[in-house]
Amino acid sequence: MIVSHISQAGFPAVVPLSVQGSPVLLAVIACAGIGTGALFLVSLVAYRRRRTRQYRLISAAVGVLVLRSLVGAGTVLGAVPMPVHHFVEHSFDFLIAAMILYAVYAHAPGSLGEDVTSD
């Protein structure tokens, strides 16, 4: 609805009305893919240096971000239908959040697996 109001206001070239085949969206997704790909490589280097489960979880979460960009590109190129796109991307969002939160929570001082005695 907002897009139709914007296009009626004289901005149809700025806001594409279709996802499939949009060069603007494809460029944004390509930039996101390149950026997350670089972050994924950095996270793999960090994991290789530390070799802990926490760093492995962080690397996996960043790897899922790369997959997320691939799904987005597939949607723009017409290979991934929009309902599948929404299901997969929102599932990836949940998975990323769960992995990050688990990595932080499970490896914080006084957390899972450690006996904490109260005074």
The pLDDT tens digits for 14-57 are: 555 577 778 889 999 999 999 999 999 999 999 999 999 999 99
Higher pLDDT, 35 or 109: 35
- Give the domain ranges of the chain: 21-106
In 3D space, the residue among 88, 37, 33 whose CA is nearest the CA of residue 59 turns out to be 37
**Residues 29, 73: contact at Cβ < 8 Å?**
yes
Residues 6+ apart with CB under 8 A from 64: 92, 95, 96, 99
By the 10 Å C-beta count (0-12 exposed, 13-18 middle, 19+ buried), 19 is classed as middle
- What phi and psi values does residue 81 have, to the nearest 5 degrees? -65, 150
What average pLDDT does the segment 98-102 reach?
94
d(CA 58, CA 103): 7
Is pLDDT of 95 > 80?
Answer: yes
Higher pLDDT, 79 or 18: 79
Q: What is the mean pLDDT of the chain?
A: 83
Is pLDDT of 61 > 90?
Answer: yes
